[in-house]
Amino acid sequence: MKQSLLTILVCPKCKGELVCNETATDADGEIAEASLSCSNCSVSYEVSNGIPRFVEPDNYASSFGYQWNLFRKEQIDSHNGTTLSADRLWSETKWEREELVGKWVLDAGCGAGRFLDAASRSEAQIVGIDISSAIDAAKANLQGRDNVHFVQASIYDLPFREEAFDFAYCIGVIQHTPDPPASIRSVAKMVKKEGKVAFTIYGRNHWYTKLFSKYWLRPVTKRMKKETLLKAIQSAMPVAFPVTNVLFKLPLLGSVFQFAIPVANYVNEKQLSSEQRYAWAVLDTFDMLSPHYDQPMTEDEASDAMKEAGVSEISRPNPSLNLIGIRR
């Protein structure tokens, strides 16, 4: 943990000042082991592996910890040789790299760090938070970058000073939380006045959204042991992948098959090799079927939550449920 992170950290429960009792540093002089004691409510929090931890290790997002530590590098641009994560980040925030220079940016639900990897190249101070042990995968992927910080915390009890950030984004996470509107409000309130926010959420734009094939399976798959579910997907993929390679490309009918077959095969993604698409198919099919929560939102629901947090000038830059705005 870098000393500079301490300037914005507070107790997530009472927002009291934290006193750092350092016990070990790493080779770079960063805090590796410590306790953070609240001067107001006397609660203490652990710093281990250089990561301040404000939640218990077992929680509703444990499947993501399992997933991202196992598939740690698959979606990291600097590992896979693509620009897919960077392209998505800048497309879905509509921010310019230059406006982030020297600013504090929050990545809410960073997973293994695919968007941290891209955002860190903007010379901003980027803070990735995740409630799961995926935060350890993110640190392993991006360790050594002077402008990247890692925190294990709940999206509902963010351990930062009010209005600590100039920018905040949350891509592909909100639907996997217990209370999506509250998650949006919590992230948006971390941004100072005139700061910018961006959210991308699973959309519920049609009456038939919940007829998507994964929702028929999820009542069973989300209760399965993570290891068992992954093995089932890996066993099915040698057949499912080549079949969907054909079906998902069919004119007109391709979108129907994508709706009817719960396999994440990105048949039109030219930046990925066939081997990479296969790995992503296993990863993202697991990602569809394993999370405890999967709660898509309408545009009005998401927009209303943003407005309640003081966000205005809300717009939708992409066909997906991708909303951006400015906090006033």
Report the alpha-carbon distance of residue 278 to residue 274 in Å, rounded.
Answer: 6
pLDDT tens digits, one per residue of 148-193: 999 999 999 999 998 999 999 999 999 999 999 999 999 999 999 9
Question: Tell me, what's the pLDDT at 59?
Answer: 85
Domain boundaries in the chain?
1-53, 55-203+297-327, 209-289
List, in sequence order, every residue forming a beta bridge with 269; answer none if it has no partner: none
Question: Tell me, what's the pLDDT at 60?
Answer: 87
Question: Tell me, what's the pLDDT at 66?
Answer: 95
As separate numbers, helices (DSSP H) first and strands (DSSP E) second, the chain gives 11, 11
Q: Which CATH number is associated with domain 1-53?
A: 2.20.25
264 Cβ contact partners less than 8 Å away, ≥ 6 residues apart:
280, 281, 283, 284, 285, 287, 288
pLDDT beneath 50: ranges in the chain: none
Question: Tell me, what's the pLDDT at 25?
Answer: 87
Calculate the alpha carbon distances from 250 to 262, 302, 308 in Å: 17, 33, 43
Q: Give the predicted TM-score (pTM) of the model.
A: 0.95
- The architecture (CATH level 2) of 55-203+297-327 comes to 3-Layer(aba) Sandwich (3.40)
